[in-house]
Chain A
Amino acid sequence: MYKLIRSLRNLPATGGVQVARCSTSEKNVVPKKMMPGDLVKTPKVTREEIARSNETTAGDMSWRTPWHEKEGQYYSMLKAFYSEDNQTNVLKMIQQPINLTPNSIKNWFAKRKVKTNIALQQYIPERNATLGNDLAAAHFTVYRGGAVKFFDSDKWIKANKFNEYDLPTIFTEDLYLQAIDCTDMDLYYEGLINFKELHGVEWLSLNGCQNLDDWALDRVGHVFSHSLLYLDLRNIPLITHRGIGALSKMDKLKILYVDNIFASREFEMTCLMLQELKPDLDIRVE
């Protein structure tokens, strides 16, 4: 027996809403003071109800037995050759006209290359488990043409023209990254996840990373929020003032390099407000 649910309720018959002029457009009207007790709103749904909702399974929702599970019904043995998968993607592929012009082949190849590069930059749990977060990020950066520097060490580590470099291949204690230089690297948003949970990176350069945009700045802002002092964001055409606003998450940022503070009014305002929020911040251009 199923219960009828609460039906569409009748709204109270309030005669037309008062469209009075807003009194706050007049000056110096003070709002009524409300005691915290007045503000507390009893939640519409209790914690127990939410927990019970989360515990219901998809199985609870099936109130009808499927046909093949009823009394006297069965699938024939040919079901063994039946596939549940409709394979709509295969169907779509064979319906596409084949385009063999040089331009379309070039486009197809370029798209494939981007996809491959993104897949190569994904997070590899085994790498981080073997090397630890700092060393794994170092390997990731240096392999792709970047340079890294550790604390307690004066030299930068960069690969030579045969892509050889000198980094330990097993976990080493007390080896923490201080600086990451990704200048002109082919870095994607998916690659930034390799920089998570580092000990205390203070210096980061993303100069010339053409593929980064506001979403990437959102991630950079969070991943390096506790320690970064220097950030270089020049020559990244896709970032806007909204991404720069996301850098307010960084607690200790002192030096920020951007292309042009006066690129647009919004950009200028964002830089000003960022400096208001962080008095120690110095936004430089060259």
Chain B
Amino acid sequence: MLFQKISSVCNQGGLLRRFLHTNKVQFRKHEHPFSRTWRILGDDMKKIVNPLKREEERGPYMPLKTLPPHADIVIIGGGAVGSSIAYWIKEKTGLKGLNLVVIEKDLSYSKCSTVLSMGGLRQQFSLPENIHMSLFGAEFMRTLKKRFGEDADVYFTPNGYLMMASEQGAGQLMDNYKLQKELGAVNTLLGKEALKKRFPFLNVDDVELGCLGLEKEGWFDPWSFLCLMRRGAMDLGANYISGEVVDFTFENRDDIYVEGIDMGEYEGLDEIVVKTADGELNHIKFAYAIIAGGGDSGEIARKARIGTGPGMLSIPLPVEKRKRYVYHFECQSNEMPGINTPLTIDYTGTYFRRDGLGGTFLCGLSPEAHEEPSIENLDVDHQFFDERVWPILAHRVPAFNSLKVKNAWGGYYDYNCYDENGIIGPHPYYHNLYMATGFSGHGIQQAPAVGRAVSELILDGGFQTIDLTRLGFDRLIVDKPMFESNIV
């Protein structure tokens, strides 16, 4: 194999290998044994002398103030997916089973994709894994009260999804419908007349076929979902840390033998370096690390030399941020969409749904590849709405000819450039690094299933319920993309 050749050539000069790395390789800070002893004894004394004081300093559900020097499992990213993984691992191991730490850089979640999302739940996908994950997501949200108590609620609105297809896409829509029906989703195909009869506000001249979800499809409140998962994880003993992962440290492991790497050449991950608000760098040694950082996952992976190293490490994690806009508008015409409006997705990709009962709607559209907005900030481009979204909305729903935009916001998709589906599973080189990211806009409904899947991988050794092998990192190596037709 090519990477064996490269490594054997490079091994001839041990020094030569160092220069091929683009970033400085860090090793664990050397601590003098005497100072280490005094430090540990000092910490123990503090714990014995004031055990109660530590508990009072930190209120319930507050993040940790002093960072632990080590943890069993470290989850990078505390959004829906990260908190879901924390909850499931803790649920399967109990209060004292594992030491779990979730590192979130912004605990107010101001720019987090989870809270800025539309909170859609649908089973209308073309990939069986996505359908299974959404079905489980629906089951999970239905049985929230059993897990989290009587006042747990995500405010689910069961209005369904309506996917429309032109003549070109009708064949794909029918294939998807058959697959979804086979796997247990409940939806129905509607022709032109049926669509017009059911939704008189639609203009269906150029629509060939529509697929309407009849059960377990709709939208919910992602912020409540996030809060529930966080509280659930914290109740079971997970610790949240406010900090940003800036680096990993590495360790030469002569004892680990990985196929494709020469014996003695393996450099494993040892610690993560977390920068807290006061600028201090803390090292946390871990047994397993899980990257669930949303749009930032690609950068975090690069700090672990994924994409910049030799051999297997030369394939980057292709997850990056993409900005998407959501516009909140009001329409008061007589023929506006009524109470039965599903989340309607046009064949151009434009979508809209009701928001509340007062004639307010949310809408959006993913921009084309050449007009991707800059990801530097979350400022909204209103011209995009005027030029691209509104004409399509007005064409599809004539009542939307007169509307008024009240509000708009931008959010990041954790966009997987390779095939727009999640990457879930271990990294082939590192035995202690897992990834759960890249969901490209449909991650919130798959968060419960992904959390369970990763917990099964780590605790049970393999997928037990839904088999997500095809969505692993390995598909990037063998170049077999798992495409999804219904990306919105």
Contacts and interface: CB of A to CB of B under 8 A. Distances in A.
B484 to A, nearest CB: 8
Contacts of A25: 404-405
B92 A14 contact: no
A64 B260 contact: yes
B298 A222 contact: no
Nearest to A3: B479
A256 B180 CA distance: 32
A23 B172 CA distance: 37
A58 B468 CA distance: 8
Contact of A88 (B92, B373, B379): B92
A282 B339 CA distance: 16
B405 to A, nearest CB: 5
B92 A61 contact: no
B72 interface: no
Contact of A215 (B128, B142, B391, B475): B142
A274 B338 CA distance: 8
A222 to B, nearest CB: 5
Contact-residue size bin, chain B (C-beta under 8 Å from the other chain)? 35 or more
B247 to A, nearest CB: 19
Contact of B385 (A22, A56, A273): A22
Interface stretch (A34-42, A121-129, A142-150): A34-42
Interface in B208-245: 214-216, 218
B156 A214 contact: yes
A2 B404 contact: no
A19 interface: yes
Interface in A48-95: 49-51, 53-54, 56-58, 60-65, 84-86, 88-89, 91-92, 95
Given A31-B401, A50-B483, A2 B477 contact: yes
A215 B394 CA distance: 32
Given A11-B372, A248-B339, A54 B127 contact: yes
A269 interface: yes
B49 interface: no
Given A36-B205, A39-B395, A64 B259 contact: yes
A269 B260 contact: no
A120 to B, nearest CB: 17
A16 B477 CA distance: 36
B22 interface: no
A32 B340 contact: no
A40 B207 CA distance: 11
A260 to B, nearest CB: 17
B249 interface: no
Contact of A61 (B215, B314, B459, B470): B470
Interface string B258-291: 0110000000000000000000000000000000
Given A17-B373, A20-B382, A92-B97, A61 B478 contact: yes
Nearest to B176: A50
A270 B372 contact: no
B479 A222 contact: no
Given A17-B379, A245-B157, A24 B477 contact: no
B333 interface: no
Contact of B340 (A64, A219, A249): A249
Interface of B: 1-2, 92-94, 96-97, 126-128, 142, 155-159, 166, 168-169, 171-172, 175, 179, 186, 205-206, 214-216, 218, 259-260, 298, 307, 314-316, 318, 320, 329, 338-340, 346-349, 356-358, 370, 372-375, 379-383, 385-387, 390-395, 401-405, 408, 417-419, 428, 459-462, 467, 469-470, 472, 474-485, 487
